[in-house]
Amino acid sequence: MIDLEVPKKFVPLVRQAAGLADQVFRPISRKYDLAEHEYPHELDLMSAVIDGLSDSGASQGAGARTTSGGSGEPAGVGAGSRAKRRKSGNVNGSNLSSVLSIMQTCRGDVGLTLSLPRQGLGNAAIAAVATDEQKARYGSKWAAMAITEPDTGSDSGAIRTTAVKDGDHYVLNGEKIFVTSGERAELVVVWATLDRSLGKRAIKSFVVRRDNPGLRLERLEHKLGIRASDTAAFTVVDCRVPAEDLLGDPEIRIEGGFGGAMQTFDNTRPLVAAMAVGLARASLDLTTELLGRAGVTADPGAPTTTQSYAAARLLQMEADYEAAYLLTLRAAWMADNGRPNSMQASMAKAKAGRTCVDIALTCVQLCGATGYAETELLEKWARDAKILDIFEGTQQIQLLVVARRLLELSSRDLK
């Protein structure tokens, strides 16, 4: 059964992540918000530290080096082994350690967290569907993920980028937008269809080297928030990719063919939820401190009707925060224990994304001019918050996934 306390083996990791947020990210947060698209060189040292922890076994990330199929177990662990471990006890693995550490680093800065080398969302995609050989080959690389297209925003099943087999290569053609870390990453996981007429069943993901001449960077987006993180747009023109770089099963399966690619979201949505939880925590902590200086203190033991509006709102936001936090832990824990978590991952992402936006904007309002000014990070966090309700599937898509699972309906039955 899930334990709501931070596992003892993860306590050092959480402390280190908290120190990273407070001592490294916060001091440079405003700098790289203003210097959009400038690479934060301070992160190179942090990346080396993370690599050292991973190599020593003191830390586990969500990347391709440590996980298999979203189970949070070493590559090669099969369903039978997972079943035995579930019977024998609780497993706290890389999914839980990742969300706990991300919650901390995002107290410092979401954009800088997304900019950490070799910690990209594409790495989680590789972990979800790659073979053991592919995990070993891509393990030390930084991977971005390219799903969204101009005409297929939240409908991943309607992807138009094509992949045509040509000997021992695939030739990719299409257009991708909103690729997080697309300029800086060494690899880009590109989603494409083997046959448009077959819909989502023919969609596969391909690992494309960033220096592939067929992967053309068109522009970097200027954004409302997370400006420290680069967001790229690509055109994919006659991009030749070795067949061995197709992730997972190359065959088109009539039943469940899209499931392998969609496992990516079961891995990444709890991570995005964790980002939202971390930003919400930062906003609540700073607002509580600022209101405390003004003589406003919330009393959780007293009725909210007897307290000021600001105090009552703080208590309400704390309750919403706790719900988002617990849903995120559950989704990650289920992945570590080999349990299907698609619905829970969407629940966590939906709740955390919406809660994060509400908390960040309300904190700006409660702090008045101080919240709106650049003298504090509240206004920046309010700008950063919105993307966490959008990427990796919008709020509406998450609710649709949850509804399908609860009602036991297919995507064809409930659109």
Q: Using an 8 Å Cβ cutoff, are 164 and 85 in contact?
A: no
Confidence of residue 60 (pLDDT cuts 50, 70, 90): very low
Which residue in 66, 10, 108 sits closest to 329, CA to CA? Answer: 10
pLDDT at 78: 38
pLDDT at 19 over 90: yes
CA 234 to chain centre: 21
As given in the structure block, the two tokens for residue 153 are 């925003």
- For residue 259, give every residue at least 6 positions away whose Cβ sits within 8 Å of its Cβ, in sequence order, or none: none
Domains and CATH numbers, the chain: 8-138 (1.10.540.10), 143-245 (2.40.110.10), 259-407 (1.20.140.10)
- For residue 306, give every residue at least 6 positions away whose Cβ sits within 8 Å of its Cβ, in sequence order, or none: none
More reliable by pLDDT, 57 or 91: 91
Handedness of CA 402, 334, 182, 26 (dihedral sign): positive
Alpha-carbon Rg for the chain, nearest whole angstrom, is 21
pLDDT at 176: 97
pLDDT at 31 over 70: yes
Place of tokens 């190179």: 44
pLDDT at 87: 52
Confidence of residue 58 (pLDDT cuts 50, 70, 90): very low
Confidence of residue 261 (pLDDT cuts 50, 70, 90): low
As given in the structure block, the two tokens for residue 270 are 């709890």
CA–CA dist 181, 194 (Å, integer): 26
Q: If DSSP codes are grouped into helix, strand and coil, which group holds residue 5? A: coil
Catalytic entry in 73, 376, 379, 392: 392
Q: If DSSP codes are grouped into helix, strand and coil, which group holds residue 390? A: coil
pLDDT at 57 over 60: no
pLDDT at 77 over 80: no
Number of other residues whose CB lies within 10 A of the CB of residue 255: 6
Question: Which of 1-10, 220-229, 271-280 shows the lowest per-residue confidence on average (mean pLDDT)?
Answer: 1-10
3-state SS string for 309-341: HHHHHHHHHHHHHHHHHHHHHHHHHHHHCCCCC
368-389: average pLDDT: 97
More reliable by pLDDT, 297 or 156: 297
As given in the structure block, the two tokens for residue 125 are 């995609």
Confidence of residue 351 (pLDDT cuts 50, 70, 90): very high
pLDDT at 76: 32
Is residue 392 part of the annotated active site? The answer reads yes
Place of tokens 């919008």: 394
pLDDT at 260: 57
pLDDT digits (tens, 9 = 90+) for 308-343: 999 999 999 999 999 999 999 999 999 999 899 999
Q: If DSSP codes are grouped into helix, strand and coil, which group holds residue 407? A: helix
pLDDT digits (tens, 9 = 90+) for 237-253: 999 999 999 998 888 77
More reliable by pLDDT, 220 or 51: 220
Q: Using an 8 Å Cβ cutoff, are 141 and 118 in contact?
A: yes
Helical segments of 252-408, H only: 259-293, 309-336, 342-366, 368-372, 378-385, 395-407
As given in the structure block, the two tokens for residue 397 are 């898509």
Average pLDDT, the chain: 87
Return the H-helix or E-strand segment holding 240: strand 231-242
- For residue 1, give every residue at least 6 positions away whose Cβ sits within 8 Å of its Cβ, in sequence order, or none: 90
Measured distance between the N- and C-terminal CA atoms of the chain, rounded to whole angstroms:
34
pTM comes to 0.89
CA–CA dist 198, 237 (Å, integer): 22
